[in-house]
Structure 1
Amino acid sequence: MDSYSVLYSSCHRTGLLSGFQRLRTEGKMCDVVLEAGGVSFPCHRALLASSSEYFWALFGETTAERLAGSISLPVLTPQGLDAILDFLYSGWLSVSPSTISVVLEAARYLQVETAVAICECFIIDGLSVESCCCYANLAERHTLSNALEAADQTIAMEMGTLLQESKDKLLELNIQSLMSVLEADEIPGVKELELIQLALDWLDENGPLPLLKSNLLLSRLRFGLVCASDLANLHHRAMGTPLIRSQLTRAMEYHRMGPAQPIRQNKQSTLRASPNRVLLVGGGSSADCPEQQLLAFDPRGKKFSSMSSCLPLRLRNHCVSSVGGFLFVIGGEEVKEGDEDGKKSVTTSTTNQVWRYDPRFACWEQVGSMLERRAQFSCCVVDDVIYAVGGRHTRPDTDTHTSAASVEFYDMTTGAWRRGAAMPRPLYGHASTVLDGSIYVSGGLPGNQGTIQGSNHGDNQGENRESSREVLYWDLKGRVWEKRASMSIARFSHRLATAHGFIYALLGMYEPFCDIERYDSRSDHWTRLRPLLTGSFNYGMVSTPSGNLLVFGGRRWSDGQEVIMRSVLEYDTKTDSWREICQLPRPLTGTECTLLPLPD
């Protein structure tokens, strides 16, 4: 049997279309005329039927149109039909913002799905604050799911500008898009009261709607983000339904919950904000002069912004935690400046105060104080419960300090602190973290009582010999602490973090090297990892949702002098690698960090 080859010409298809286009232009061999808006378009029946499901069915064997010389398409515009015919004959689709509507109408009606897909890509690529509302309506009308989702996301992100400059476009928005936007978890720069007013104005403009649709729209609003006085002033006929009235009642009850608010969160009280902001609380350009600043860091854009609110106190050696979208600032040493006989004086006292910050309304509130005054202690959160572990209390009147083995936790249902299982011995300058619902504590200095040897507690180099390598473990179901494998390095004033099921210990104050290590709870074993780029202490640190660790500022020794750092370092726990990702606005030490959703 003779062998043979099958060869393909890549230019044949293009030549075939070019030939049909030439015949159409010259009006030769055309066997059907399409009419739209009084304009005639001579075409070739075979090409139309092979390119469009609509024409394939229209020219079928049993239809009256199969032999008709002229076919009227009154629902299409000449411009739209011409663009689709050009596409069928050439493969090129001519579309612009002013023609996209009629071209898409023709492509959808004639069932030219390739042209529909091109129009959808054009809509997605052309989304902007000027076009998003119009394109959302277009995508909804033609069931373009990808374009509709992209347009709704653009509207949500640009809502602040749209409310100021193009509210009329928002009032013309289709109800599906408006409901999708009101469902969004991130709407930057817009207060919930503005969204409520938009929804009510939209109902006035487009109503009356059936009760079900009106309820579906308004139920997407988050009434818990509106203060009680503004809620009381909301009056509209659409809000008088049992469903919406019950949501308003629950929002008013939320405002009356007081200390229990963080553990009574629901979607209606959850901020529409990115959850990945790092909040830097306190610290300053000097270890002895802490400031009341709050800095927010966006890991996506690697940018810092100053918060409008400030700490109520000037604190150092404090702890911070976040629960239910609230920030808690706990204990520490309050630094006060005075002026006696024309001379400035600074006094430091350990506090047991606890302050809660609500980013929904940018307000501070003092909540239940700890049972003991604590500084250089550690805090961690397990199942929305804050635990305060160990620490040291300084008595300025007697110039002595006392360390604590005690543990207490904050009961948010009552707003009071309660005793937990005490550690085997007093400890301060330690670190703690949570893994699998249990608390791990490492390092620190053993407790003692005595006279203070300097203004900066724990900075006495002579205490280095007392630093501990010990690791303690507390399963909250039990009442005792247990020992786990010790770290390879004795650490004081260091950091612990949990990521990807492991615990990471980073360097502290007195360590001569920059080593970090990782703990595997399954094997009860520590492993040395890549050292930190630069030796430092008194830095802020947070574990991100991706599992990477971010280290902010701190202090280090250089040529016998203490230097305050500006660097922001990132440790990739998966690749065991460090890199500097950006710099702080200015040198910073003594800051405490936590993750908190913040409004833009």
Structure 2
Amino acid sequence: MTSLPVHSEDLQLPASLTRTYTSKVHGGDILRGLNALRAEDSLCDVTLTAERRSFPVHRVVMAALTDYFRAMFTGPLRESRENCIELLGVTAVGLHHVIEYAYTAQVRITPDNILDVLEAANHLQVKSLIDVCCNYLREGLELKNHRAVLAIADACGLTHLRVSVESHIVKNFRLFTEEPEFMELDYMKLCSFLARDDLEGCWELSLFDVAAQWLLNKPERLQYARQVMACIRFPLIREDLLKEVVESQYDFMKRNPTCEPLLEEARQYHSNVLMQPALQTARTRIRNTKEHMLVVGGEGDLGVMDSVFEVVMEARVNRWDRPTLPKAMAYHRVASLDNFAYVVGGQNAVNHPVDLGRSGISDVFRFDPRRNDWTQVTSLTELRTDFALVEAQGCLYAIGGRNQTENCLSSVERYDPKQNLWSRVADLPEALHGHAGCKLGGNIYISGGFSLQLMMRISTVYRYDIDGNSWHEESGMVTRRAWHNMAAVGNKMFVLGGNEKNANGEEIDLKLVECYNPSTRQWTVMANMPVPQSESSCLVLDEKIYVLGGYRWDTQQFLSVISQFDPAKNEWCICNHGLPEPLSGVGCCTMVFEKRWWQENQENSD
């Protein structure tokens, strides 16, 4: 019973009033109290020594800090019974900072004491202090000290620090090749660098040149010519430079029988432009790991466009002009396959609304970011516009649409890029145009569109079984729609925007977004779009859906907006940078491009 003048029942508190409180200052108060006791040498029960310096401490504090001291003080070791313990393998400076860290959670690291502190933290297994030291070394990384930091990482077994140093070298590889240490690399380490995809900002010809200089630096290194040169991506070097520089200026490339096949591989690649998709290897891959958006064509106030843009969401300068399309196109479809962009079908109409497919085209163009140019490949077997194009299992599927003779198409054709050939597969269950499609798992899904059979927009969803070459009806959407978008993220699909007609036959823009789970065959309504976007295009980048451009029927305006949807958060936002001009019927996809000037400028300004 307490000595207070009241009893608990006098408070008349409800029984449900039970709370758990966590103090934000208690931990700091405890540390300050313990440190004050240590400063007064009060209740200290053991003295640690290093290099003849003594440090009175509390066993319980040091045992709580690290398993090293816990085992020392609580186990059967003789140190558990001693009052003074000499620590070997640490300096007095290092031990002092470990103890200060234990009692204050703070440590002051300088260039003069970093080695002492890290060695002591590593020896005494103070993991959090090791991380602090590694972060300090990362912050001070420069090309002139990376060898010393690598030596520290290896001596202390700090794999994560070694990875950080190597990443720093990769990020600054062009400058690193000018350092004397580059010529001292062993061939295995050189190859490990040259094989990386994230070796950005280096022209392939420059990489070849520094690799050749490394080989010629010591005669005995030529025995590694094949291993080193196999890491150079010769197909990415222009054909004229292969002859003028690689073959003409470096005789060992022609004399060495193990290097000649690498040059022949590049020659074959350059001489078979149409068949390059079938010749893809690790040596045809661009050295970059970040995907960006490619936006192609579209219709605006000035008519049908031939413009091509690389949209870079994270860069301060957010777009880079690419070679224009071979012809102006709109309401076409674009897909990326093996890091080639295929621009398929569409039309060359100049008036809005679209001309019912009468100006539909069958052309197919392929953009290669390695060469930064366009190649015309085999055309569709039918003219198509307002259709769906889906990449699946290494092929492209052109589904439905309309053209000058057919208001709606049910036909489906598949493109094999390795054969440069279109072939027919199973028709849609009904003729459609203005529908949308995407791939999920081993299936292709088609949603909505305008049905020739019903002469109206529909909410029907069809699934194409690729292996079985057959179509099956799925659960329909909540809302009828056409000229909308469809994308898959994770194990779900999303339909976004589009339009419907009201009872008066007027076009009604839709903001409604729906999510489909194929495993439950259920649709869920998601957050509305911030802006209605009909006749737009969409893509998925970093698990987010981007909707680009489009047309608003309520205001009869083309749009330049780029909207971003985060399915994980069910949230929309308007991107700071839109299309360079209002456009509908654009085509878009994601691709990996070579590192450009805007990336270097951004890094230099950060």
Q: Scaled by the length of structure 2, what TM-score is found? A: 0.71
The residue type equivalent to 1:326 in the other structure is F
Asked if residue 533 in structure 1 is aligned to residue 536 in structure 2, the reply is no
Equivalent residue in structure 2 for 1:489, among 455, 475, 479: 479
Map of 2:46 onto structure 1: none
Map of 1:435 onto structure 2: 440
Equivalent residue in structure 1 for 2:590, among 572, 592, 595: 595
Unaligned runs of 5+ in 2: 1-30, 42-48, 56-61, 63-67, 69-89, 102-106, 352-356, 500-506, 596-606
SS in 1 for 2:206: helix
Q: What is the 5 A alignment of 1:190-209?
A: 190-205=202-217, 208-209=220-221
Contact 2:483-2:536 within 8 A present in 1 as well: no
Map of 1:271 onto structure 2: 286
SS in 2 for 1:150: helix
Map of 2:550 onto structure 1: 554
Map of 1:504 onto structure 2: 494
- State how far apart, in whole Å, the 1-side matches of 2:481 and 2:118 are: 72
Map of 1:383 onto structure 2: 393
1:435 Cα deviation from its structure 2 partner: 1.9
Map of 2:515 onto structure 1: 518
- State how far apart, in whole Å, the 1-side matches of 2:288 and 2:237 are: 15
- State how far apart, in whole Å, the 2-side matches of 1:121 and 1:530 are: 41
1:478 Cα deviation from its structure 2 partner: 3.0
Contact 1:496-1:506 within 8 A present in 2 as well: yes
Corresponding residue pairs, total: 510
- State how far apart, in whole Å, the 1-side matches of 2:235 and 2:38 are: 62
Map of 1:458 onto structure 2: none
SS in 1 for 2:198: coil
The residue type equivalent to 2:580 in the other structure is R
Render the CA deviation track for 1:131-190: whole Å, top value 9, x for unaligned.
Answer: 657755775687653333212212222335556xx4556445565654343232223322
Out of 370-379 and 127-136, give the one that drifted further: 127-136
Contact 1:553-1:568 within 8 A present in 2 as well: yes
Asked if residue 322 in structure 1 is aligned to residue 347 in structure 2, the reply is no
- State how far apart, in whole Å, the 2-side matches of 1:487 and 1:371 are: 31
Map of 1:220 onto structure 2: 231
Over 3 Å counting, the alpha-carbon distance change for 1:324 and 1:489 in structure 2 is: same
1:236 Cα deviation from its structure 2 partner: 5.3
SS in 2 for 1:537: coil
Contact 1:332-1:376 within 8 A present in 2 as well: yes
Contact 1:263-1:384 within 8 A present in 2 as well: no
Out of 480-489 and 128-137, give the one that drifted further: 128-137
- State how far apart, in whole Å, the 1-side matches of 2:212 and 2:342 are: 36
Over 3 Å counting, the alpha-carbon distance change for 1:130 and 1:299 in structure 2 is: farther
Map of 2:326 onto structure 1: 312
The residue type equivalent to 1:282 in the other structure is G
Over 3 Å counting, the alpha-carbon distance change for 1:130 and 1:444 in structure 2 is: farther
SS in 1 for 2:221: coil
- State how far apart, in whole Å, the 1-side matches of 2:185 and 2:113 are: 18
Contact 1:137-1:173 within 8 A present in 2 as well: no
Contact 2:410-2:430 within 8 A present in 1 as well: yes
Over 3 Å counting, the alpha-carbon distance change for 1:292 and 1:143 in structure 2 is: farther
SS in 1 for 2:213: helix
Map of 1:543 onto structure 2: 540
The residue type equivalent to 1:221 in the other structure is I
Over 3 Å counting, the alpha-carbon distance change for 1:170 and 1:429 in structure 2 is: same
1:217 Cα deviation from its structure 2 partner: 3.7
1:352 Cα deviation from its structure 2 partner: 1.0
- State how far apart, in whole Å, the 2-side matches of 1:285 and 1:83 are: 70
1:357 Cα deviation from its structure 2 partner: 0.9
1:197 Cα deviation from its structure 2 partner: 1.1
Contact 2:509-2:534 within 8 A present in 1 as well: no
Over 3 Å counting, the alpha-carbon distance change for 1:122 and 1:180 in structure 2 is: farther
SS in 2 for 1:312: coil
Over 3 Å counting, the alpha-carbon distance change for 1:262 and 1:403 in structure 2 is: same
Asked if residue 354 in structure 1 is aligned to residue 364 in structure 2, the reply is yes
Map of 1:293 onto structure 2: 307
Q: What is the 5 A alignment of 1:204-283?
A: 204-205=216-217, 208-209=220-221, 211=223, 215-232=226-243, 233-234=246-247, 235=250, 237=252, 244-283=259-298
Map of 2:409 onto structure 1: 404
- State how far apart, in whole Å, the 1-side matches of 2:277 and 2:194 are: 23
The residue type equivalent to 2:52 in the other structure is H
Map of 2:378 onto structure 1: 368
Contact 1:83-1:94 within 8 A present in 2 as well: no
Render the CA deviation track for 1:530-554: whole Å, top value 9, x for unaligned.
Answer: 22122221222112342x2111232
- State how far apart, in whole Å, the 2-side matches of 1:220 and 1:15 are: 64
Out of 149-158 and 248-257, give the one that drifted further: 248-257
1:124 Cα deviation from its structure 2 partner: 0.9
- State how far apart, in whole Å, the 2-side matches of 1:222 and 1:141 are: 35
SS in 2 for 1:351: coil
Render the CA deviation track for 1:423-474: whole Å, top value 9, x for unaligned.
Answer: 23322111111122222222222349xxxxxxxxxxxxxxx97112222222
Contact 2:446-2:463 within 8 A present in 1 as well: yes
Map of 1:578 onto structure 2: 572
Over 3 Å counting, the alpha-carbon distance change for 1:89 and 1:439 in structure 2 is: closer
The residue type equivalent to 1:204 in the other structure is L
Over 3 Å counting, the alpha-carbon distance change for 1:12 and 1:161 in structure 2 is: same
Out of 323-332 and 202-211, give the one that drifted further: 202-211
1:195 Cα deviation from its structure 2 partner: 1.1
Map of 2:602 onto structure 1: none
The residue type equivalent to 2:545 in the other structure is L
Contact 2:510-2:533 within 8 A present in 1 as well: no
The residue type equivalent to 1:271 in the other structure is I
Over 3 Å counting, the alpha-carbon distance change for 1:375 and 1:410 in structure 2 is: same
Map of 1:147 onto structure 2: 161
1:107 Cα deviation from its structure 2 partner: 5.4
SS in 2 for 1:565: strand
Contact 2:94-2:117 within 8 A present in 1 as well: no
Over 3 Å counting, the alpha-carbon distance change for 1:141 and 1:271 in structure 2 is: farther
Contact 2:497-2:533 within 8 A present in 1 as well: yes
Out of 524-533 and 141-150, give the one that drifted further: 141-150
- State how far apart, in whole Å, the 2-side matches of 1:368 and 1:89 are: 73
Over 3 Å counting, the alpha-carbon distance change for 1:301 and 1:133 in structure 2 is: farther
1:320 Cα deviation from its structure 2 partner: 0.5
Map of 1:71 onto structure 2: none
- State how far apart, in whole Å, the 1-side matches of 2:494 and 2:109 are: 58
- State how far apart, in whole Å, the 2-side matches of 1:403 and 1:116 are: 67
Contact 2:277-2:418 within 8 A present in 1 as well: no
Out of 298-307 and 119-128, give the one that drifted further: 298-307
The residue type equivalent to 2:513 in the other structure is I
The residue type equivalent to 1:427 in the other structure is L
- State how far apart, in whole Å, the 2-side matches of 1:81 and 1:473 are: 69
SS in 2 for 1:193: helix
Over 3 Å counting, the alpha-carbon distance change for 1:89 and 1:373 in structure 2 is: closer
- State how far apart, in whole Å, the 2-side matches of 1:520 and 1:221 are: 44
Identity %: 22
Out of 226-235 and 180-189, give the one that drifted further: 226-235
